[in-house]
Structure 1
Amino acid sequence: MAGIASGILLALVNPGLGMAALSTSLALTQQAGINYTRGNEKEADRVGIALLANSGFDPKGAPNFFGKMAEQYRYVSKVPAMLLTHPLPDSRVSDARIRAQNYPSVNLKPSLAFELTQARITARYENNSKANVSKYEDILRTQEYKIKEAALYGLALSHYENKSAIKAREILESLLKADPNNLYYVDVLSDVYIETKQFDKAITLLSRLNSLMPNNQIVALNYANVLQEANELDKASHILQDLLIAQPEHFVAYDLLTTIYRKQDKVGSMHAAKAEVFVLLGIYPKAIDELQNGIKFSKDTPLFQKRLKARILQLREQEEKLKRL
C-alpha cells in the first residue's frame, strides 16, 4: 500500500516515473499473492502425505500420483515457475518424494473392492467391448492379475457389454456362489437376468438381499427395476417409496418411480415424481409445471392435490431465494 501511495504521489511530479513505480508496486503485490498461494499448496501436500501415512495408506502413493500428472504435461509449453500459483509438477513430485521418505513404507494387500471398481470402469468405458473381452481373456490366461475374481468380473462385464449375456451369466453366477452378498456381482447379474428374461431368478436373488440390506440403494434400485420389468408395479413402487424415505434426494429412484407410475396410469403421482426429478436438477419452473399438470389431469383425492399445491408454494419460495442470491 505504501508503494502504491508513493507511486501516485510521484506521478504528480513526474508522470512517467510515477507510472513505472506504480506498475512495479502492483506487480510485486501480485507476485506476493502467487508466492503465498504456492506456499499453501506445498503445505497442503505436506499435510496430505502425513494424513495418508497416519491413516495406514502408503505415503509414496502421493508422489506416484503427481508423477502421473506430470506425464500429462511433459510436452506442453510451460510458463516460468515464478508466475505459477501452483508448483511445477516436476518440483511437486520431488518435494512429495522427499516428504514421503520420512515415513515407513506400507505394503497393502490388493483390495477386492478396488480391483472390482477398476475392472468395472475399464470394461464399461475403456476401448470397445470386443477388445475388452480379449483383454481380460489374455489377463486370465497369463495370470497377470492381482485378484482373479476381479479379472473374471471384468470379463463378465465385457461379455455383457458385448451383447453376450449368457456368457456373462455363467461367470457371474459362479462368482456369486462363492461370494453371495457381493453387490458388484449382483448389480450386473440383475441386468443379465433382465436381458435373458429370467425375472424369477432376479427377484429371488434381490428379495433375499433386500431383507438382509433394507434400503441399500444398489439392491433397492435393481429390485425395483426387475419388478417393473416383470410387471409387478405395485411392489416396485413400494420398494422405491421406502428407499426415498431413507434417501429423499435420490435422483435415480425418482426417475424410475416416474416410469412405474406412468405404467400404472397414476397421472398425479407420475407428475409429482417427475417434478422431484426437476427439483434435484435445480429446474424449478419445470418442476412447478409438472405439479400443476398433476393437479390438472389427475383423478386423485383432494388431499393429494392439496399436497401438490403446498409443494408448489415451497418451490416458488425456494426459487425466490435463489433469485435474491
Structure 2
Amino acid sequence: MKKLFSKLTLMVGIVSLAGLVAAQSVQLPDMGGTSTRVLPPDAERTFPKDMERFLRASRVLIEDPMIRGFFEDMGFRLVAQSSRPSAHFHFFVINDPTINAFAAPAGVIGLHTGLILTAHDESEVAGVVAHEIAHITQDHLARGMEQAQQVSLPTMLATLGLALAAGAAGAGADAGQAILMSGMGLAQQFQINHTRQAEAEADRIGIGLLARSGYDPHGMTRFFERLNSVSRAMGQGPPEYLRTHPLTVNRIAEARDRAVSLKERELREPRDGEAFHFVQARLRALISQRPEQAEQFFKARLQDGTRPEQAMRYGLALTYVRERRLDEAAEQIEYLHSKDPDRQIYRLLEADWLLASDQIDDSLKLLESLYNRYPGSRMVTTQYAEALMHEREPERAARAADVLRRHLRRHPDDLPMTELLARAADRAGEPVRATEALAESYYMRGGVYEAIEQLERLIQRDDLDYYQRARITARIDELRAEQVRLGNAGRRR
C-alpha cells in the first residue's frame, strides 16, 4: 500500500473532485471567479502524463495500439467539432469492469472497459465521450471547483488508491465503491458535482458533437436508456456511470427531442461503424480472465446475428489463438480470408497464428511485407518487433532494435515498445542503449528514482563516448528536476 500511495502523489492535479466533504481540509487556491483553468499552469501541463504514469503503475491502462488508437481517434474526431478544436485532450482506456467514464483536469477523459463492452455500437460510446468532452469545454470542472469550499487532496488521493488497490486485488467493483464512499464523502469518482443544468448542457452540446462528427445523435440517450432498463430488470442499483450522471425522465426526453430536432446542416454523412465491433471484439478477447466466456459470447452473437459476423469470427479466432486451439483458430482465419484476403487485421491475425504454430520464418516474412507496406502502422510495427524477439537470435534482435528506435521517435511514450527495446538492445549487444531504454521504462511507470539510479550507474562506465555521456548526463538532469517536482513520489517506490 505504501507503493500505491507513492504512485498516487503523481495525481497532484485532481482538485476538480468537487462537492466533497473530507475529513481533513486545505484551502483551495483563489481562481478569481469562474475560470477555464482548473489547475495552475505547470500542473495542468504535466497532469496528463502524471495520470498516464499513475494508470500504468496501477496496471489498469490498456495500451494495445488498435484499441487505444481507435478511441483516441474517436475522441479527437469529436473534439474537432467542439468549441475548442485546438485544445489538448487525452483519452485513456482503463481496464475496469464497471460501466463508467470520467472527465478530469487538463482535458483528460477515461473510458472503462466495462462501458465499452456494454455498448451495442460506436455511437453509444461516442455519446459518452461527447458528453465528457462537453463537461470540459463548458468549464463545468472549474465551476464545480468554485462550489467546493474545502478539499483535502491527500485524503482524496489515498482513498482513490485504496479503491484501485481493491480492484487490482480482485475484491470487485462493490468493494472498491464501498471504499470510495466510506467516511470521506467521495461520492463522485473523478467527477464534478453534476447539477441538472450541467448535465442538460453536456447532453445538448454532446448530441451536437455526435451529429457533426458522423455519429448517430441518438446514441447517447439510447445507451443511457438501456443502462437504466438493465439495472431495473436485474434488481440492482444503477451502473456507476448513472450514479455520477443521474438521469431523469425529463432529461432523457429532452435529449431525444434535441437529437430529433437537429437541422440538416448539423448532420454529417453517417459512419458505417464496422471498425468498432472489431475493436470491441479484440478488447473482449484480450482482457477476458475466462476465455470460455468470451468464446460463448462470440458464438452466441454469431447464432443470433445481432453483431457483424466477421467481427465476431475475428474475436473468436483471437480467443482460440490465445488458448492455443490452433486448428479451430485456423478455420475462422480461413473464413475471414475468404471474405477479405487483404484486410490488415486478418493478415496480422494470420501472422499471430503462424507464430503460435512455431512457423516463425513464415510469420516474419508476412510481417515484414506488412511493415514495408504500412510503415506507419503501430499495430504492424508492434507485432513485427515482438515476432523478431520470439527467439534469442542476435541478428533478429538487432533488426527489432532498429524497428523500435524508428517507432519510438514517432511515439516516445509507448511503454511496451520501450521495454521491448531494452530487451532487443541487450540481446543485440548494445548495453548502453539497453540501459537507457530500461531507465525510460521505469520512468514511464512512475519510477523516477529507479530511472535515475539506472542512468547514474551507466554514467560510471569507462567506455562511453562523448555523445553517449552527454546524452545520459542531460537525461539525468531532466529526471532530477522531475524528482524535485514530484517530491515524495519521486523517491524510491
What's the TM-score, normalizing by structure 2? 0.51
Which of 249, 254, 266 is the aligned partner of 2:413? 249
Q: Do the aligned partners of 1:66 and 1:92 also contact (CA within 8 Å) in 2?
A: no
Aligned to 1:267: 431
Which of 43, 47, 50 is the aligned partner of 2:201? 43
Which of 246, 251, 255 is the aligned partner of 1:96? 255
CA distance in 2, matches of 1:111, 1:175: 19
User: Secondary structure at the residue paired with 1:241?
Assistant: helix
Would the alpha carbon gap of residues 173 and 295 (structure 1) be closer, same or farther in structure 2, given more than 3 Å must change?
A: farther
CA distance in 2, matches of 1:87, 1:256: 44
CA distance in 2, matches of 1:215, 1:55: 25
Deviation at 1:163, TM superposition (A): 2.2
Q: Do the aligned partners of 1:149 and 1:175 also contact (CA within 8 Å) in 2?
A: yes
Q: Give 5+ residue unaligned stretches, structure 2.
A: 1-145, 149-191, 489-493
Q: Do the aligned partners of 1:291 and 1:312 also contact (CA within 8 Å) in 2?
A: yes
Q: Do the aligned partners of 1:215 and 1:246 also contact (CA within 8 Å) in 2?
A: no
**Percentage of pairs with the same residue:** 29
Deviation at 1:198, TM superposition (A): 1.2
Would the alpha carbon gap of residues 296 and 121 (structure 1) be closer, same or farther in structure 2, given more than 3 Å must change?
A: same
Deviation at 1:264, TM superposition (A): 3.0
Aligned to 1:4: none
Question: Is residue 234 of structure 2 the alignment partner of residue 234 of structure 1?
Answer: no
Alignment of 1:145-294 (within 5 A): 145-176=306-337, 178-230=339-391, 231=393, 232-294=396-458
Shifted more, 307-316 versus 109-118: the winner is 109-118
Would the alpha carbon gap of residues 154 and 254 (structure 1) be closer, same or farther in structure 2, given more than 3 Å must change?
A: same
Deviations 1:183-229 (A, max 9, x none): 43344333322221111222121111211221321111111111121
Deviations 1:275-317 (A, max 9, x none): 1112223322111111123234584434323321221112112
State the Cα RMSD in Å: 3.5
CA distance in 1, matches of 2:271, 2:226: 22
Which of 286, 305, 314 is the aligned partner of 1:124? 286
Q: Give 2:357's aligned amino acid.
A: T
CA distance in 2, matches of 1:90, 1:127: 37
Deviation at 1:98, TM superposition (A): 2.7
Q: Give 1:220's aligned amino acid.
A: T
Which of 64, 68, 87 is the aligned partner of 2:226? 68
Deviations 1:137-189 (A, max 9, x none): 4544x361443211221221121233212332343255246535534334433
Q: Do the aligned partners of 1:66 and 1:89 also contact (CA within 8 Å) in 2?
A: no
CA distance in 2, matches of 1:90, 1:287: 53
Q: Give 5+ residue unaligned stretches, structure 1.
A: 1-28, 79-83
Would the alpha carbon gap of residues 270 and 41 (structure 1) be closer, same or farther in structure 2, given more than 3 Å must change?
A: same
Question: Is residue 459 of structure 2 the alignment partner of residue 295 of structure 1?
Answer: yes
Structure ranking higher on relative contact order (CA contacts 8 Å, 6+ apart) = 2
Would the alpha carbon gap of residues 282 and 219 (structure 1) be closer, same or farther in structure 2, given more than 3 Å must change?
A: same
Q: Give 1:313's aligned amino acid.
A: D
CA distance in 2, matches of 1:249, 1:236: 18
CA distance in 1, matches of 2:206, 2:470: 52
CA distance in 1, matches of 2:326, 2:471: 44
Shifted more, 252-261 versus 265-274: the winner is 265-274
CA distance in 1, matches of 2:462, 2:282: 42
What's the TM-score, normalizing by structure 1? 0.75
Would the alpha carbon gap of residues 123 and 104 (structure 1) be closer, same or farther in structure 2, given more than 3 Å must change?
A: farther
Would the alpha carbon gap of residues 173 and 253 (structure 1) be closer, same or farther in structure 2, given more than 3 Å must change?
A: farther
Aligned to 1:307: 471
User: Secondary structure at the residue paired with 1:229?
Assistant: coil
- Which structure shows the higher helix fraction? 1
Return the index of the structure with the highest Cα Rg: 1
Q: Do the aligned partners of 2:215 and 2:271 also contact (CA within 8 Å) in 1?
A: no
Q: Give 1:148's aligned amino acid.
A: E
Q: How many residue pairs are counted as aligned between the two chains? A: 289
Q: Give 2:217's aligned amino acid.
A: P
CA distance in 1, matches of 2:290, 2:246: 37
Deviations 1:220-239 (A, max 9, x none): 11111111214211111100
